[in-house]
Amino acid sequence: MLAFVLRRLGQSAFVIVAMAALVFLSVYAIGNPIDILLAPDADQQERAAAIARLGLDRPLWQQFLTFLVNLAQGDLGKSFVFGSDAVSLILARLPATLELALVALVLAIVAGIPLGILAGLRSDGWIGRGVMTGSIVGFSLPNFWLGIMMILLFAVELKWLPAGGRGATGTFLGLQFSLLDPAGWPNLLMPALTLAIYKVSLVIRLAYAGTREAMLQDYVRFARAKGLSPARIIGVHVLKNILIPIVTVLGLELGSMIAFAVVTETVFAWPGVGKLLIDSIARLDRPVIVAYLIIVVGMFTLINLAVDILYSILDPRVRLADGGH
């Protein structure tokens, strides 16, 4: 198990360096942040000083080498725009995104799995058809449009929920979380729903397919013959077997919700990392973009690792040996 974990971490270190090089070069190729940062009427002297301060006057290979040396020392650089440490900027915005992703994940599990199983059991009835049709709608709605429509309906027309922004927050370990203060929940609801709808549909489809398949398996027939109650058959035996693909997919989806909730966060003016990323891209704030993606790659590696470990708990036949049978 330890060897497995170490090898995984080694692989991700390689991915991080390769990805950092790619991002570094492509941001360099897009353009120069200096015209966005500088006051338009800065004179030539000030312009030259600003370019030198950011190190943009040096050749690309030198800039990249400095970046690699600093990276090796764990320093991802300072934001061009905010002047402060890129990593701490990202970490300061992370709680907002984490709680959004967490609520969306819980919604996906709580709504998706029961609905999917139900649809799988009643696949010919109107419940099954209704749920599956609904999931297709949930699949195909673009996030952006859905967010705007929810705002128009629930905020502008009905005035039930605030149109955006983060509401009141409570403090936990020195970090701010809306989940801890009920006054902050209304603000959390719409962005979390927007983020969750696609995942709910995804989970419904996985649970549906899994249930239909499992119900035809021998162990279900045996369990029935043994006289187990349908609730126990479905709640224990079927559920456990359909969970494996769902856990895999949700693990990856959780990662992408944390990393790329960009659209949702922008539409709802939610001050999370996705918003920070899109703003940084617009301003070509290279240190923040690169640091962000490095953190994301690291996070995906960890999530994948966690998913693999979860597998082995759900299915004892799976051994953590990197395919070493």
Partner 1 sequence: MRVNRFSGAITAAMLTLSIAGPAAAQELKIGLAAEPSALDPHYHNLTPNIQIATQVFERLADQDKNQAPQPMLAESWKATDDKTWVFNLRKGVKFSDGTDFTAQDVIYSFCRVPKVENSPSSFVVSTRPVDTMTAPDPYTIVITTAAPFPLMPQTVFSVAIMSAKQAGAPVDLKYSKDGCQGVAQWPRTDDFNKLKYAGTGPYKYTQYTPGDRIVMERNDTYWGKKPVWQKVILRPITQAAARVAALLSGDVDFIENPPIQDLPRIEANPTFAIAKGLSNRIIYLHFNYLADSPPGVTGTEGKNPFRDKRVREAISLSIDRDAIVSRIMGGVAVPAAEFLPNPLAGTNPGIKPAKPDLDKAKKLLAEAGYPNGFGLTVGTPNDRYINDAQVAQAAAQMMSRAGLKLQVDAMTSTTFFDKRTKREFGLWLAGWSADTGEMSNSLRALAGTPDPKTGFGTTNPGGYSNKEMDALLTKALTTVDDKQRNSLLAEASRMVMDDYGVIPLHFEVTVWAFKKGLTYEAQVNQYTRPDAIGRQ
Rule CB under 8 A: which residues touch partner 1? Answer: 30-33, 35-47, 49-50, 53-54, 78, 80-84, 89, 92-93, 96, 148, 151-152, 155-156, 159, 162-166, 176, 266-269, 271-272, 275-276, 279, 282-284
Based on CB atoms, which residue is closest to partner 1, 161 or 294?
161
Q: Using N-to-C axis directions, what is the helix angle for 273-282 and 286-314, rounded to 10°?
A: 150
- Comparing CA positions, the residue from 179, 249, 178 lying closest to residue 257 is 249
Based on CB atoms, which residue is closest to partner 1, 47 or 237?
47
Q: Are 291 and 13 in contact (CB under 8 A)?
A: no
Q: HSE-up of 226 (CA within 13 Å, CB side)? A: 11
DSSP-assigned beta bridge partners for residue 175: 172
The 8-class DSSP code of residue 182 comes to G
Rounded Cα distance between 127 and 123, Å, is 8
What secondary structure, in 3-state letters, does 217-276 show?
Answer: CHHHHHHHHHCCCHHHHHHHHHHHHHHHHHHHHHHHHHHHHHHCCHHHHHHCCCCCHHHH
Based on CB atoms, which residue is closest to partner 1, 145 or 222?
145
Based on CB atoms, which residue is closest to partner 1, 93 or 205?
93
User: Smallest distance from the beta carbon of 140 to partner 1, in angstroms?
Assistant: 21
Based on CB atoms, which residue is closest to partner 1, 101 or 203?
101
User: Smallest distance from the beta carbon of 132 to partner 1, in angstroms?
Assistant: 32
Rounded Cα distance between 320 and 312, Å, is 7
User: Smallest distance from the beta carbon of 177 to partner 1, in angstroms?
Assistant: 13
User: Smallest distance from the beta carbon of 261 to partner 1, in angstroms?
Assistant: 13
User: Smallest distance from the beta carbon of 247 to partner 1, in angstroms?
Assistant: 32
